Amino acid sequence: MFNLSRVARLVAVALLASGGAVTAGNVPETDQPIKVIMNDWTGQHVSTKIAGALLQKMGYNIEYVSAGALPQHPGLAQGNLHFQAEVWSNNVGDLFPKMVETGEIVVLGDLGLEPREGWIYPPYMEEKCPGLPNYKALYDCAQAFATAESFPNGRLITYPADWGTRSRDVVTGIDLPFNAVAGGSEGAMIAELTSAMATKSPIISMMWQPHWIFAAHDFNWVEWNPIDGECIEENQEKETACGFSQATVNKVVWSGFEETWPAAFKMLSMMTLTNADQNAGILEVDNKGRDIHDVADEWLANNEATWKPWVAAAMN
Amino acid sequence: MRLHNLNRGFFHWLAVIAITLACISIEGEWKWLSEYPNAFIAPFSDWLNVIMDWTVNNCGSFFMGISWLLEWPIWAVQKVLNWLPWSVSVFLFSAVAYAASGWRLAIFTLSATIYMVVIGYWEESMNSLSLVAISVPLAILIGFVIGVWGFYSDRAERVIMPSLDLFQTVPAFAYLLPILLLFGFGTVVGLIASVLYSFPPMVRNTIIGLRSVAPEVIESGLMSGATPSQLFWQVRVPSCRRQILLGVNQATMASLSMVIIASIIGGTSDIGWEVLTTIRKAQFGESLLVGMVIALMAMIIDRITFGLAQRSGIYDPNQQGLFERYRLLLIAALGGAVLFVLAQIFSVLVDWPREMVWSPGRAMNDGLAYLIINYHAQIDAVKTFAFFYVMLPIKIGLQGAVSPFTWGFALTPYHKAIYTLAMAGFSLWLGLRGKNMAGVLVMLFAVFIYFGLTNIPWPCVILIYGVIGWKVGGRNLGLGTMLGFGFMAVTGNWAEAMLSIYLCGIAAIISFIFGTSVGIWAAHNDRVSAFVRPINDTMQTMPLFVILIPFVMVFKIGEFTGLLAIIAYAFVPAIRYAEHGLRNLPETVIEAANMMGATKNQLLWRVKIPLALPVMMLGLNQTIMYAIAMLVIAALVGTNGLEQIVYIGLSDGNFGIGIIAGLGMAIIAIIADRTTQAWSRTRREQLGLDASL
């Protein structure tokens, strides 16, 4: 495996020496394709395709590989996959932390997205529950959110059971008269949200941003007491509740990445994106039905000032 | 009371009911009765995780080697299928279909494959096909070898048969993770999962086939001086070719259905991945369109292999033989070549342009939204009704379900007295009329529905199911049932197991009643039968996930949606078996009934249905199996039983938890299977029908 890549590197250097390369120095170090992970949500596609397009500009050979959010971790550890643009710190299971600890997976740092998690509701619910968006209003108008199964409590859709029980813990912690119903899967949660919006029925749900649903529909966030530092979710009280601690989104690579593609490693370490970048991309793809490839290229064309320094620094 | 009618069985049941009531009454004092004590939960899942870690650390390179070997053929087939212009592949597939079955199938294949092109999923379809193309031969090879081994060695068969049951009933979600850890990330995971799921039918059919070869045939082979290997390859195998081909057909279907589930791992951009992506976005229309691709693929492959199975072994003196076959081959090769050349000129024949992709997905979404908005009230009413009057009573019993908010009144001692008297009176009346067993059943049902499945103490549940197993299938089945349920208590999954049984049980009963009614109708009306058949085919081959999204949009997250999704999948076998059973009754019996002047109603209820009941019971068996298979998918819409634990095990990367819950589901399935099979067998023997079906 390593001999092969060394041969490939030699070949690549030879090819470069013969001229015709756009890039400077000995980049790319090898022709061996960088396998970049595509998960199954559009936001991640936007980040990934932008990173991929930048690497291609540097002369790298890129291969996009689809992978599930859990299976990707063994894949990264074993070196079958090489780069993941978005690992959400709140949804990694048990495998990922173990693999980071043993050094099989290397965390490249924050992607720069500012994710927000919390409870959302459609604006029309403010008529039925006038105290919103403050969370204290939920104590008085739980019945506005009730259904046959939950009556007299309100019904709160939470993350699928396999993503943990954070909402349920908050509900019991601060004594809210709500039943926490596990969403089952992202698709089921989205289906329920869109169907509720269509019929203007009551709904309140745990959700995260950036997500394409915010490009398609209007939602308001339940607001909590402002707090200095991080919100400790486990021990909150009714009067001082702070809601949820916020996640970070990290770039992650295979442990052999730096050795194999040093320049790519440097560039990816520097790369950051903003919520605005991603939301715009998501809107183009999911609402206007455009190809993700074109959207990424468009971002590159419009943001040269942002990415040129990363590539330049990596090439030196 | 006619006491001489009371047999021992009756008293056994009375004892069971008495014990159950006694347990419930002292439940408050002995806490361990209502809840299996945590101190006695054996940490099986931890042990399994330790074993798994050891295996990965010490034998990892061995499995990785296998994985590396298997990757090449998939890669090669994928390259070839993607390199061929779609027009050439479509033509060749249709030609194969013609050769296997004739014009009708060829035209069906042509339109189905063109559909895949037009909706813009050709490449993904070919990626899925290449996985199937490798996994099916592998499954057939493995299945055949194991089948032959099982045929020659009784000892081997005793081990093989129960393992096959496990492979077919443990949900794939439970073993995807160990495969991933052992074989590494990639297409190979999907390949191995689908081989594991699809080789059992091949084994079964090989054994059945080899057994069914007539002794006369073997004898004549021996007399002609065949060596053992000649006897096997030239006498036994050709004589049971049909049965073996049926195994091939079933293995292919199983493989196709698993390819979708395995794509949750990723690695190839195949149809399964597209289905998952559209479902994540809750795009009902798009997911249905993509899911249709797999359904169509399954139908084509099914008809082709079935056609080949039918044609094989028929000796036709007028067949032109080789010439005919060569002519077809020649035409196919020539047509393929011409299209290939044309494709070099017209690029449309190679890559279907994005602008020409036709997708009514959005329109379908709008249609669904229209339905939801306009029938909001009716939908809610149906749901609330089912929830209050059916699901809640079974789950937590009348004592918990009846409240002013749900039924409009609270359960007073007065109501309770009436309920007890009415139920006791009813069963006594049945007993007096000589129907002791019916009386006992009513009593059991009354206790059960009053306290609810999840509130009956666990030792009593084990006892009840054990006695059912004993009465229906003998002592071994009874003991096995008790051990199986005991496993769920010991592993700490009791509460979840009861939730699974509750959901699956209701779904199976509703599916069976509904499906059997449709089946009876279809057996008497050819038009209904022709109408129902394609619906059945589609429901059975459509990826199970696809059904979920529309149900969630209409009925919201929760058990009710899970229930409907299970029913939508599980009613199909009930229809099939009921129709099959009624259409294949011995004609002499029906003639006799007609001559005796039976009316149409009498004929149906007194003659046909009792005679077809054993076959219908096999339909119930299959309904339960399908319901359990779908249950694991229903976890994605927020159900809370064993299926959810399987799913949590997969997403958390906790192998032990997932596989233990998966085994629990397998145990439920196997117990249900054995019980219904045993009942059907006894009935058939009583009726003097052919016991081997």
Cα B575 off chain centre by: 14
On the CB side of B11, CA atoms within 13 Å amount to 6
Phi/psi region, residue B171 (left: phi>0; alpha: psi -120 to 50; beta: rest), is beta
Give yes or no for a cis peptide into A152 (omega within 30° of 0): yes
Any domain includes B640: yes
Nearest CA in chain B to A164: B648
Burial classification of residue A282, based on how many CB atoms lie within 10 Å of its CB (0-12 exposed, 13-18 middle, 19 or more buried): buried
List A116's β-bridge partners, or say none: A209
Q: What are B371-388's pLDDT values in tens digits?
A: 888 888 888 888 888 888
Neighbours of B280 (CB within 10 A): 20
Q: Which residues of chain A does B64 touch, with a Cβ-Cβ cutoff of 8 Å?
A: 78
Residue B544 sits in a domain of what CATH number? 1.10.3720.10
More confident residue, B651 or B94: B94
**Identity of the residue numbered B423:** M
Ranges A271-280, B286-295, B331-340, B679-688: which has the least confidence = B679-688
Residue A312's SS3 state is helix
- Kindly list the strands in the beta sheet with A62-66, ordered across the sheet, starting from the edge strand earlier in the chain: A62-66, A34-38, A83-88, A249-254, A105-110
Residues 6 or more apart in contact with residue B258 via CB below 8 angstroms: B172, B190, B193, B194, B197, B198
The answer to whether residues B504 and B613 belong to one domain is yes
Q: How confident is the model at residue B122 (pLDDT cuts 50, 70, 90)?
A: very high
Spell out the alpha helix ranges (H) of B312-412: 322-345, 361-374, 376-386, 392-396, 398-401
C-beta of residue A57 within 8 angstroms of C-beta of residue A301: no
The answer to whether residues B561 and B429 belong to one domain is no
What confidence score (pLDDT) does residue A21 get? 39
The answer to whether residues B543 and B507 belong to one domain is yes
Per-residue pLDDT at B284 exceeds 80: yes
φ/ψ of residue A159, rounded to 5: -60, 160
Please provide the size of chain B in residues.
693
What confidence score (pLDDT) does residue B243 get? 84
- Is A17 in the B-facing interface, judged by CB distances under 8 Å? no
End of a domain among B472, B506, B525?
Answer: B472
Mean pLDDT score, B116-141 = 92
- Is A19 in the B-facing interface, judged by CB distances under 8 Å? no
Burial classification of residue B517, based on how many CB atoms lie within 10 Å of its CB (0-12 exposed, 13-18 middle, 19 or more buried): middle
Q: Which residues of chain B does A190 touch, with a Cβ-Cβ cutoff of 8 Å?
A: 280-282
pLDDT one digit per residue (tens) for chain A, 316 residues: 344 444 445 444 444 444 333 445 677 888 899 999 998 788 899 999 999 999 999 999 999 998 888 888 988 998 889 999 999 887 777 788 888 999 999 999 899 888 889 999 999 999 999 988 999 999 988 888 988 777 778 899 998 877 777 888 899 889 999 988 888 888 889 889 988 988 889 999 999 888 888 878 889 999 999 887 788 887 788 888 888 888 889 999 999 999 999 999 999 999 999 988 888 898 888 777 788 999 999 999 999 999 999 999 988 7
- Is B399 in the A-facing interface, judged by CB distances under 8 Å? no
C-beta of residue A37 within 8 angstroms of C-beta of residue A48: yes
What confidence score (pLDDT) does residue A101 get? 92
- Domain count of chain B? 2
Looking at the structure, give the CATH architecture of the domain made up of residues A2-113+249-315: 3-Layer(aba) Sandwich (3.40)
Give the best residue of B63, B185, B392 to mutate against chain A (max A CB count within 10 A).
B185
The answer to whether residues B517 and B636 belong to one domain is yes
C-beta of residue B477 within 8 angstroms of C-beta of residue B674: yes
What confidence score (pLDDT) does residue A212 get? 80
Q: Which residues of chain A does B558 touch, with a Cβ-Cβ cutoff of 8 Å?
A: 149, 181
Phi/psi region, residue B186 (left: phi>0; alpha: psi -120 to 50; beta: rest), is left
DSSP letter, residue A25: T
Cα B509 off chain centre by: 15
The answer to whether residues B693 and B617 belong to one domain is yes
Cβ–Cβ below 8 Å for B651 and A163:
yes
What confidence score (pLDDT) does residue A3 get? 47
Residues 6 or more apart in contact with residue B610 via CB below 8 angstroms: B687
End of a domain among B441, B472, B503?
Answer: B472
What confidence score (pLDDT) does residue B203 get? 94
Give me the residue label for tokens 């001086």: B225
Q: How far apart are CA B261 and CA B254, in angstroms?
A: 11
Neighbours of B52 (CB within 10 A): 18
The answer to whether residues B441 and B539 belong to one domain is no
Q: How far apart are CA B278 and CA B283, in angstroms?
A: 5
List A251's β-bridge partners, or say none: A109
Those of residues 269-288 in A touching chain B at CB distance below 8 A are: 286
B269/chain A closest Cα distance in angstroms: 6
Nearest CA in chain A to B644: A161
List A37's β-bridge partners, or say none: A65
What confidence score (pLDDT) does residue B356 get? 78
What confidence score (pLDDT) does residue A316 get? 77
C-beta of residue A8 within 8 angstroms of C-beta of residue A261: no
**Identity of the residue numbered B389:** Y
Q: How confident is the model at residue B588 (pLDDT cuts 50, 70, 90)?
A: confident
Long-range contacts, stretch A127-130, CB < 8 angstroms, 24+ apart: A128/A202
What confidence score (pLDDT) does residue B396 get? 86
Residue B95 is encoded by which pair of tokens?
């030609």
Q: How many CB pairs under 8 A join A and B?
A: 151
Helices B187-212 & B241-262, crossing angle to 10 degrees?
A: 160
Q: How far apart are CA B453 and CA B200, in angstroms?
A: 34
- Kindly list the strands in the beta sheet with A116-121, ordered across the sheet, starting from the edge strand earlier in the chain: A178-182, A154-158, A205-209, A116-121, A220-221
More confident residue, B570 or B356: B570
Q: Which residues of chain B does A167 touch, with a Cβ-Cβ cutoff of 8 Å?
A: none
Residue B583 is encoded by which pair of tokens?
């259409």
Q: Pick from B276, B554, B638: which is nearest to A181 by CB?
A: B638
The answer to whether residues B552 and B684 belong to one domain is yes
Question: Could you state, in order of their start, the residue ranges of all structural domains in chain A?
Answer: 2-113+249-315, 116-221
Any domain includes B87: no
What confidence score (pLDDT) does residue B38 get? 82
Residue A221's SS3 state is strand
The answer to whether residues B672 and B557 belong to one domain is yes
Cβ–Cβ below 8 Å for B373 and A199:
yes
Cβ–Cβ below 8 Å for B267 and A148:
no
Those of residues 603-642 in B touching chain A at CB distance below 8 A are: 635-640
- Is B183 in the A-facing interface, judged by CB distances under 8 Å? no
Residue B7's domain comprises: 1-32+375-472
More confident residue, B362 or B505: B505
DSSP string, B389-425: IIIHHHHH-HHHH--TTTTSS---HHHHHHHHHHHHH
What confidence score (pLDDT) does residue A107 get? 93
Residue B253 is encoded by which pair of tokens?
């279907």
**Identity of the residue numbered B269:** S
Residue A240 is encoded by which pair of tokens?
């001082």
Q: Pick from B280, B635, B654: which is nearest to A94 by CB?
A: B654
Long-range contacts, stretch B8-16, CB < 8 angstroms, 24+ apart: B9/B437, B9/B471, B10/B436, B10/B437, B10/B440, B12/B467, B12/B471, B13/B437, B13/B440, B13/B444, B13/B467, B14/B440, B16/B444, B16/B463, B16/B464, B16/B467
- Is B396 in the A-facing interface, judged by CB distances under 8 Å? no
Using only C-alpha atoms, chain B has a radius of gyration, in whole angstroms, of 28
Q: Which residues of chain A does B363 touch, with a Cβ-Cβ cutoff of 8 Å?
A: none
Any domain includes B417: yes
Using only C-alpha atoms, chain A has a radius of gyration, in whole angstroms, of 23
Q: How far apart are CA A113 and CA A91, in angstroms?
A: 15
Q: What are B134-189's pLDDT values in tens digits?
A: 999 999 999 999 999 999 999 999 999 889 988 888 988 888 888 988 898 888 88
Cβ–Cβ below 8 Å for B557 and A189:
yes
DSSP letter, residue A29: S
Q: How far apart are CA B632 and CA B565, in angstroms?
A: 11
- Is A163 in the B-facing interface, judged by CB distances under 8 Å? yes
Any domain includes B523: yes
Q: Pick from A80, A157, A191: which is nearest to B282 by CB?
A: A191
Q: Which residues of chain A does B369 touch, with a Cβ-Cβ cutoff of 8 Å?
A: 194-195, 198
Residues 6 or more apart in contact with residue A247 via CB below 8 angstroms: A88, A89, A90, A91, A115, A117, A208
Name which of B405, B373, B406 is nearest B389 in CA terms.
B406
Q: How far apart are CA B93 and CA B108, in angstroms?
A: 11
DSSP string, B461-511: HHHHHHHHHHHHH-HHHHHHHHHHHHHHHHTT-HHHHHHHHHHHHHHHHHH
Maximum separation of any 2 CA atoms in chain A, in Å:
77
Distances (CA, A) of B500 to B454, B504, B552, B667: 11, 6, 19, 12
Q: How far apart are CA A75 and CA A68, in angstroms?
A: 10
Per-residue pLDDT at B354 exceeds 80: no
B454/chain A closest Cα distance in angstroms: 17
What confidence score (pLDDT) does residue B514 get? 95
Q: How far apart are CA A195 and CA B650, in angstroms?
A: 29
Q: What are B417-431's pLDDT values in tens digits?
A: 999 999 989 988 888
Any domain includes B610: yes
Any domain includes B622: yes
- Whether the predicted model's global pTM rises above the 0.80 cut: yes
Q: What are B223-273's pLDDT values in tens digits?
A: 988 898 999 988 898 888 888 888 888 888 888 888 878 888 877 788 888
C-beta of residue B443 within 8 angstroms of C-beta of residue B16: no
The answer to whether residues B611 and B693 belong to one domain is yes
Any domain includes B211: no
**Identity of the residue numbered B295:** A
Per-residue pLDDT at B691 exceeds 50: no
Cβ–Cβ below 8 Å for B638 and A68:
no
Q: Write down the mean pLDDT value for chain B.
A: 86
The answer to whether residues B688 and B541 belong to one domain is yes
Q: Which residues of chain B does A161 touch, with a Cβ-Cβ cutoff of 8 Å?
A: 638, 640, 644, 647-648
Q: Which residues of chain B does A93 touch, with a Cβ-Cβ cutoff of 8 Å?
A: 651-653
* Domains A2-113+249-315 and A116-221 agree in fold: yes
End of a domain among B472, B499, B517?
Answer: B472
Give yes or no for a cis peptide into A71 (omega within 30° of 0): no
Q: What are B413-465's pLDDT values in tens digits?
A: 888 899 999 998 998 888 888 777 788 888 888 888 888 888 888 999 999 99
- Is A151 in the B-facing interface, judged by CB distances under 8 Å? yes
**Identity of the residue numbered B321:** G
Percent of chain B with pLDDT over 90: 28
- Is B364 in the A-facing interface, judged by CB distances under 8 Å? no
What confidence score (pLDDT) does residue A11 get? 47
Residue A83's SS3 state is strand
Q: Pick from B185, B280, B650: which is nearest to A78 by CB?
A: B185
The answer to whether residues B433 and B578 belong to one domain is no
**Identity of the residue numbered B207:** I
Q: How confident is the model at residue B361 (pLDDT cuts 50, 70, 90)?
A: confident
Q: Pick from A78, A81, A191: which is nearest to B553 by CB?
A: A191
ipTM score of the complex? 0.80
Any domain includes B608: yes
Name which of B202, B162, B184, B259 is nearest B663 in CA terms.
B162
Fold of the CATH domain A116-221 = D-Maltodextrin-Binding Protein; domain 2 (3.40.190)
Cβ–Cβ below 8 Å for B185 and A40:
no
Give the helix/strand (H/E) hosting A63: strand A62-66
